[in-house]
Amino acid sequence: MDLKPSRVQFSILLPSILTLSLSHFAHADDLFISDLALPEVLTATHLYQPPAAVPGSISTIDQELIAASGARNITDLLRLVPGMLVVPDSANLGTVNYHGSSPGQARRLQVLIDGRSVYRAGFAQVDWSDLPVAIEDIQRIEVFRGPNTVSYGANALLGVINIITESPKDTHGTLLKSTLGENGIRDWYARQAWHSDRSDMRLSLSGLADDGFDTRTDGTHFRDGRRLSRFNLRANHQLNEKSSIDWQLAFKEGTNQVNNNYHSIFANKIQPKPSEQDPNSDGQAKDYAASLRWTTAVNSQHSLSLQANAQQWQRLREWRGCEAQISFSAELNELWDISSPAQRAALSRGKFFNNATARQLDLQRWLANALSPQFIEHSCGLINENSRESRADLELQDTYSISERLRLISGLSYRYDQARSKTFLNGRQRKDIVRGFSQFEWYTTEHWLLQGGGMLEHDSSNGDSFSPRLAVNYLFTPAHGLRAVYSEAVRSPDMFENSADWRYRVHDLRPTIGQNSTGDFFISAQSSGKLQQEKIRAYELGYNGHFAQQRISFDLKVFEEKISRMISHTPRLESFNLNNNDHIKFYGSELEANWQASSKDRLRFSYAYIQDRASNTLDQQVTPPHSGSFAWLRNWENNWNSSLMYFAAQQLNSNDLQLMTLRVAKQFDLADKRLTVAGHLQKTLNNQPIGRTNNKDNSHDTAYATVQLEF
């Protein structure tokens, strides 16, 4: 698949696609039918809307695609979305980014599970491997591709990923599933549903395990396996004809393998024994979540909903390491504190520096004297990177149809976030967020739709912000529409960025240093506490069409996005200097198409052309100029079905991605039971690293089999 058309060719191609499509179908019957039974999406505005009426671009990964993909990870599904970048960040743990910027942390996407944000405000992370939801429970994934702070508050800077699980009332009976394969794959899933006159409930238990990447690109062993288990209980109760309650409990726990890659600054001066330090530093994760949503219909034009959520994320990682005893000395701690960034860079390499003050010279002479013997004393102790985050939020939403042509949605919300870490924050940080939002949908005529609104947000650590959006849609019919969108959005610095007090306090030192079994490692970092919110201004022109007779739907957009006051960084203890000095500009086009070619064949295609201009080298060369996906789903005779999917990206961190997945399945109907047996093959086609250059993605060169029983 050639993903390298010239920019001139591309600028001609997009208008041609649109012109040919409209001219070809201009006289098709469905173009002038106004009562089509169209699919609807929710994520753009909190209102159910046909795709042609949405104020932006939205992708839907439906249940058929999810099942046909055979994917074990949610991140693999998101490769189907144009412009979405899925790369390993650390070992086999994937990150998801839209359009680009540094992939180390996906700081600029809002991610929801049934309306509950799983974006960790303490450390600007979404732990995709640790989400307390199984793929088998997902009904669909809606991805709003563009800024949407107006609907979801700060951090929906580049887009929103909304994971919607299957309603308990649509789940029936028992389902058991097991997956075994190469690379240590050992997954399982069990689900049970219960129903009564007014209540429905679904319980699911699941587990996932694999060995991660086998090797790095240099051939060395990569210890990065994972093991996790999940619990999810969701229920719906119909209180009366107008009101209902939906609640959910979720839990996840697991372990991610991590090599202990720490190297002593004074490694040439100490000789620790292998038994004194841990070879590994595995991380443990425990997540808890609970949500309650009450909805009521005041009348046929007016409804209210109230949602409350509570969550906790716990990350534990502790290991024993060794360092020279002078690393914990008061003298070296003082020298670090009074040194400039350039001087600190030298100290972090165990080097001396010139142009020093009298006190710095005295301390360097002390250090030189301490390092004069061939070998010096060392101690080994417990180091940790533990953190705990918690959140509670409450949102009231009011939906009112003022007339047949005008709908209004408004709301108020309050959220409390807290993060605790002795290592990263020197204790506890918290913030309170209060939001008020309102959006309108106004059909000024049969064909013209005007939409707009804004979000006013007060963040106790970042102040006030206002994010507006204005969109105009011209609807040829409810199934075909042109759109023009202008939007603004913000991202708040996370607690670590704005309030870091990063220092490693080592416990249980052996041997002790004097009488002390605890010591502070001399390298430390502190935030200025003066960071501002990042801000984006985005422009979009697009077309969305659904041709019923031809069973084709597609979405096309051209865009320009400018992020200012950008915080670009890869957190490093020895060079921690965050600021709002960077900026980036994205422009390009995206195309997504779905064709039900026959009753047995479905084809899906996505393509993105993206150019960027970034002021910081960290944000350069991480956005592929050309990327895309292709999927073919086929139902054969005698309950056989298959899927073939292909993903490609050009120059993603200087490497090209070509990935293929194949699934073949056979269904057996056994009286009142249904048995499905499937085989899966994943293969990288060009044998290049993906994302960071030390990752060789041979974890995708694997095969596995699944057995599923429903009754």
Rounded average pLDDT over 4-8: 42
Rounded average pLDDT over 98-121: 83
- In this predicted structure, what is the pLDDT of residue 44? 93
SS3 readout for 462-503:
CEEEEEEEEEEEEEEECCEEEEEEEEEEEECCCHHHHHCEEE
SS3 readout for 83-139:
CEEEEEEECCEEEEEECCCCCCCCCCEEEEECCEECCECCCCECCHHHCCCCHHHEE
- In this predicted structure, what is the pLDDT of residue 401? 96
Gap between the Cα atoms of 520 and 327, Å rounded: 8
Asked whether 642 and 664 are in contact (CB, 8 A), the reply is yes
Which of the listed CATH numbers 3.20.20.10, 3.40.50.2300, 2.40.170.20, 3.40.50.300 matches domain 7-39+170-325+383-710?
A: 2.40.170.20
The angle subtended at Cα 451 by Cα 445 and Cα 453, nearest 5°, is: 150
Phi-psi region of 376 (alpha: psi -120 to 50; beta: other; left: phi over 0): beta
Given pLDDT bands bounded at 50, 70 and 90, which one contains residue 106?
low
pLDDT greater at residue 520 or residue 686:
520
CB atoms inside a 10 Å sphere around CB 241? 7
Q: Which of 30-39, 596-605, 695-704 has the lowest mean pLDDT?
A: 30-39
Q: Which two tokens stand for residue 645?
A: 């999917």
- In this predicted structure, what is the pLDDT of residue 487? 97
pTM (2 d.p.): 0.91
HSE at residue 73, side-chain half, CA atoms within 13 A, is: 25
Rounded average pLDDT over 101-109: 70
- In this predicted structure, what is the pLDDT of residue 545? 96
Rounded average pLDDT over 309-335: 95
CA-based nearest residue to 338, from 519, 520, 524: 524
CB atoms inside a 10 Å sphere around CB 495? 26
Three-class SS of residue 592?
strand
Beta strands in 258-364 (DSSP E): 283-299, 302-324
Three-class SS of residue 354?
coil
The residue extents of the domains of the chain are 7-39+170-325+383-710
What confidence tens digit (pLDDT) does each residue in 380-403 have? 999 999 999 999 999 999 999 999
pLDDT, mean over the chain:
89
Q: Which two tokens stand for residue 494?
A: 């996370």
- In this predicted structure, what is the pLDDT of residue 699? 52
Type of residue found at 550: Q
Given pLDDT bands bounded at 50, 70 and 90, which one contains residue 650?
confident
Which residues, at least 6 apart from 309, have a Cβ–Cβ distance to it below 8 Å? 116, 117, 289, 290, 291, 292, 391, 392, 393, 394
Given pLDDT bands bounded at 50, 70 and 90, which one contains residue 104?
low
- Does position 481 have pLDDT exceeding 90, yes or no? yes
- In this predicted structure, what is the pLDDT of residue 695? 55
Burial letters 349-371, b for 16+ CB under 10 A, else e: ebeeeeebeeebeebbebbeebb
CA-based nearest residue to 411, from 55, 36, 151, 112: 151
Asked whether 69 and 77 are in contact (CB, 8 A), the reply is yes
- Does position 30 have pLDDT exceeding 70, yes or no? no
Gap between the Cα atoms of 165 and 168, Å rounded: 9
Give me the DSSP letters along 171-218.
--SEEEEEEEETTTEEEEEEEEEEE-SSEEEEEEEEEEEE---SB-TT
